[in-house]
Amino acid sequence: MLTNKLINRLGNWFWAGPAHPVERVLRDGDEVAGFRVVHAPGHTPGHVMFFRESDRLVIAGDVLANLNFLTGKPGLREPPPFFSADVALNRRSIQKLIELKPSIVCFGHGYPLRESSALEQFVARWDP
């Protein structure tokens, strides 16, 4: 059976473009173009979100998707387990997202979310 790590390596080989040199290592709390960097590991070890306090906008990347990948319809989804380095850690990052109390969340996949209560409802459905 393929492991998550192997699947991620194959995905990177298939989908990723050529490597780009890192010019600046981002740290939790750094500022980039008016956004605060929020370390949100789980999907990948170094995954980050970007939060702008002035309008409470979050660029959440792949911590969640707001899209059913099969139907294309809106709906919050965790990354499939085989595309996450650590599912439990990603869930803790989703909690960080909720704690930011965003007014708008933009995802790497799917539609912007303007109802932060939907995030809390999504988490409430998790098994205890």
58 vs 79: CA distance, rounded Å: 18
Enclosing H/E stretch for 124: helix 117-124
15 vs 83: CA distance, rounded Å: 13
Contact call for residues 120 and 126 (beta carbons, < 8 A): no
19 vs 6: CA distance, rounded Å: 19
0.85 exceeded by pTM: no
Which candidate, 1, 5, 3, places its Cα nearest to that of 85? 5
**Residue 75 is encoded by which pair of tokens?**
């709906």
pLDDT in tens, the chain (128 residues): 456 666 666 666 666 777 789 899 999 999 999 999 999 999 888 999 999 999 999 999 999 999 998 898 999 999 888 788 899 999 999 999 999 999 999 999 999 999 889 999 999 998 76
